[in-house]
Amino acid sequence: MTDALDLRQSSTGDPADRLYAIVEQGLCIGCGLCQAVAGPQRVAVTKSSSGYLHPTVVGPLDHATVDVIYDVCPGTRVDGLPEHLVDDDTKIDNVWGPWRRIVRAWAAEPAVRFEGSTGGVLTALGQYLLSSERVDAVLHVRASTEEPTFGEAVLSFTEADVLAGAGSRYGPTAPLLTINEALDRGKTLAFIAKPCDIAALRNLARHDRRVNELVRYWLTPVCGGFGAPSFTANFVKGLDVDPEELTDFRYRGRGCPGPTVATTAEASHERHYLDYWGDDSTSWVLPWRCRICPDGIGDSADLAVSDTWPGGSPTRQESVDDPGTNAVVARTVAGQQLLEAAEADGAVVIEYDVTPDDMSIYQPHQMHKKYAVDARFKALGDAGRIVPETNRLRLAELAAELPVSVNRYQREGTARRLAEGKGTEPRPTPRSS
């Protein structure tokens, strides 16, 4: 395998090979930023034969462009919160990162709380940012109009449009595919997307000054990953539904977490959220990039919002009766001020303050993954693979807290999975229609 350092630097080889290496080594999350950087005439992010959203080289590509892609891609670089946003009185927890305030909260409007995938806080904040005229538009995601199990980027200018995007999307989604068009408007924005997408846009800010000028608020859900397309397709087939016949697919929402609903022209098929994911995180079928994610907690966002189920998952009975409560981590001054203004103006209800230790009770899988990342990345290096560059994520500090035997276990386990091919994907080709 080509040395990772050679791939990061310009060489005399084929630039396309360098781009495809990100995909082939399982690091592409399908955010769409490489198309935005290179232009759709050179790189097109589309559904590939593997079922994922991946880049395909469609025009002449040069090493300088691929250099930029390596610097912005969240598969090859993930940084924590920019240093200038960490004030002197901001606390930093090794697992949960910078924080100024952590609360349990929910959307004040019952309909928003119901539609949202937990307590509706992200939806309520998106609406509040528009109604209070703090931003001109919200860039977020909604269910795809073409691939019902996928998500798609949308620029919302009204509270109703924000609400239409409520409910988590656990399928491939490219929220940065049209970031240039959004920035070209010259309008102020809030960006609501997965932590890896937040990291990608923070990366782009080093190359495009418009990002920091126009993106005023950065909001994210705490993310455990999304379902591999084959996993979702098998779930749909288990309902005796042809995935090609789906007209809508709702992963959760309309309750906490709410049902998973597959809809065709003839009928709707409703199942419990746990029927899709399983009753614990060991049953999750995720992309490799999600398995080794260095930041599922939204380390570089203004606000990160999570579920609050002790142990990390609802029980079947509790989820029927639970109206939905989020945990909200305010990391920046802007994030804290937004949260508190939204409460004062009646957009959200804050129940009470909690701590990073409470977050680890609500999200134990995030805590365990964060501790494991350093060893898992070392296994990537052992195999001669691309090792994502990280800064300000405290990965080495967390690894140092663990016994040597635990780090060795994680490193050897990742090496074994790589040898089994679990971190390898085929070179993308567009799926034939």
Along the 433 residues of the chain, how does pLDDT read in single tens digits?
445 656 777 676 899 999 999 999 999 999 999 999 999 999 999 999 899 999 999 999 999 999 999 999 999 999 999 999 999 999 999 999 999 999 999 999 999 999 998 999 999 999 999 999 999 999 999 999 999 999 999 999 999 999 999 999 999 999 999 999 999 999 999 999 999 999 999 999 999 999 999 999 999 999 999 999 999 999 999 999 999 999 999 999 999 999 999 999 999 999 999 999 987 767 789 999 999 999 999 999 999 999 999 999 998 876 667 899 999 999 999 999 999 999 999 999 999 999 999 999 999 999 999 999 999 999 999 999 999 999 999 999 999 999 999 999 999 999 999 999 999 999 998 765 4
Helix (H) or strand (E) holding 46: strand 43-47
Fill in the amino acid letter for 389: E
pLDDT at 3: 57
- Kindly list the distances between the CA atom of residue 337 and the CA atoms of 200, 303, 340, in Å, as whole numbers in the listed order: 24, 10, 5
Element (H, E) at 101: strand 101-107
Domains (range + CATH), the chain? 89-227+282-365 (3.40.640)
DSSP at 187: -
pLDDT at 283: 76
- Do residues 177 and 32 touch, judged by C-beta distance below 8 A? yes
The set of residues, in sequence order, having a beta carbon less than 8 Å from that of 90 and lying 6+ positions away, is 98, 99, 100, 331, 332
What gap in Å lies between CA 43 and CA 392, rounded to an integer?
A: 30
Q: Report which residue type is found at 152.
A: E
Sequence-separated (6 or more) residues with CB below 8 Å from residue 227: 170, 171, 235, 276, 277, 284, 285, 286
Report in angstroms the alpha-carbon separations of 366 from 118, 256, 298, 307, 370: 17, 20, 11, 12, 6
pLDDT at position 367: 98
pLDDT at 433: 47
Give the CA radius of gyration of the chain: 20
